[in-house]
Amino acid sequence: MMAVPDPTTIDDLPTPALVIEQSVFEANLEAMDAVRPGTKLRPHVKAFKSTAMAARLAADGHTAFCCATPREVEGLVLAGLGRDVLLANESLDVARLGTLAGDGDLEANITIAIDSDATLDAAITGGVRSVLIDVEVGLPRCGCDPADAGRLADRARAVGLDVRGVMGYEGHLMMVEDRVERIERVESSMALLLAAAADVGGDIVSGGGTGTFDTNTWCTEIQAGSYTLLDTDYAKLDLPFEIALNVLGTVVSVSSKGWMIADTGLKSMGMDHGNPTWEGGDLFFLSDEHATLLPPEISDWSVGDRVRLQPAHIDPTIAKHEHLWLIDGDNIVDRWAIDLRYW
């Protein structure tokens, strides 16, 4: 079988493909490091799902990571990035993590979030020895009542678990556009978390995200991940980050009626935050495999041309692909596997 040469430019890539402009990505990392250096940031790998990118962040001193799924925890540990990994979602499927943590050949310091007796029991029987008490701080999702946090912590310590502190995610405040209002509402939300922290003890108060990375000054660490690549939703805010990720597509049809079709449809990007943006003109709609685009001058476009769409939500977009392609303009710099997909 004839070997296929490695792609050197974006014209060599099969589409749809995810491309990251390296200079923008590096600028995003610098902007975060200026505010949240080292372990003041616990990067959330759910945003990019790549151990290669996690290793890049670890090289900057961000050696503690946050995960959304047991699979992400496993991948980080097996990649040698398991020095301090937090599963920040409740799960009853944690015995696999206890096995990892008990493997003396691996550096696997794993902490999981718990918010009930049932999730605490899962940690105990699963062999996970470190927990954070997850507290509900206004987002209608996981988290115990702040008044119950101390009881859960006492029960966990009574059976020998290390209770490292608390976490609480103010996700309902990530997209508050007015900065003053965002600060005020985050402070009220974090007051609930700090009250629980006083009952629980421990060194960690974990929370936040890209939208509140600099306005949440109450947490000891911030769980941000989207800042690395950004998306059009977060780009609405007053954040020092820019969009680094694009979905690269190929024009496969051009109509004399003024529209053209690219091969970047619904199956190539997350749509829960709305349509992507195309800087070359208007995006009419997306179907399964196709994007219908309306350029100002259809005569400027031909079948085979490349387009770049900016997704509204990077997390589910990335989960649909196998690789991230780091680029400098049209030139390919590196390829990073998206190796933390699935559960």
- Find, among 62, 149, 161, the residue nearest to 110 by Cα: 161
**128 and 41 share one domain:** yes
pLDDT tops 70 at residue 51: yes
Share of the chain above pLDDT 70, in %: 99
> Do 209 and 85 share a structural domain?
yes
> Do 205 and 288 share a domain, yes or no?
no
Instruction: State both tokens at 264.
Output: 């970047």
Residue 315 belongs to some domain of the structure: yes
Domain-embedded: residue 2: no
Q: Is residue 32 part of a domain?
A: no
Mean pLDDT of the chain: 96
Find tokens 């911030």 and name the residue: 222
**Average pLDDT over every residue of 6-12:** 95
Q: Cα–Cα distance between 39 and 24 in angstroms, integer?
A: 23
Q: Pairing relation of β-strands 204-207 and 282-286?
A: unpaired
Mean pLDDT, rounded, for 155-177? 97
Could you give the CA distance from residue 133 to residue 26 in angstroms, rounded to a whole number?
Answer: 34
Assign residue 59 the CATH number of its domain. Answer: 3.20.20.10
When pLDDT is cut at 50, 70 and 90, the band that residue 4 belongs to is: low
User: Could you tell me if residue 231 is inside a domain?
Assistant: no
Over residues 260-269, mean pLDDT: 97
Instruction: Name the pLDDT band for 53 (thresholds 50, 70, 90).
Output: very high
In-domain check, residue 64: yes
Structural domain for 318, as ranges: 10-16+241-337
CB within 8 Å of 262: residues ≥ 6 apart: 249, 250, 251, 252, 290, 291, 293, 307, 309
First-residue to last-residue Cα distance in the chain: 35
- pLDDT the model gives residue 107: 87
Residues 213, 171 share a domain = yes
- Structural domain ending residue among the three candidates 167, 188, 223: 223
Number of folded domains that form the chain:
2
pLDDT digits (tens, 9 = 90+) for 270-317: 999 999 999 999 999 999 999 999 999 999 999 999 999 999 999 999
Residue 2 has pLDDT above 70, yes or no: no
**Would you place residue 104 in the very low, low, confident or very high pLDDT band (cuts 50, 70, 90)?**
confident
Task: Grade residue 3 by pLDDT with cuts at 50, 70 and 90.
Answer: low
| Per-residue CA distances from 111 to 13, 67, 117, 242, 323 (Å) | 39, 10, 16, 32, 28
124-157 pLDDT, tens digit per residue, is 999 999 999 999 999 999 999 999 999 999 999 9
Q: What is the mean pLDDT of residues 63-81?
A: 97
Same-domain pairing of 250 and 114: no
> Looking at residue 325, which CATH number applies to its domain?
2.40.37.20
Among residues 86, 38, 51, the alpha carbon closest in space to that of 66 is found at 86
Phi, psi at 189, each rounded to 5°: -65, -45
Co-location of 219 and 279 in the same domain: no
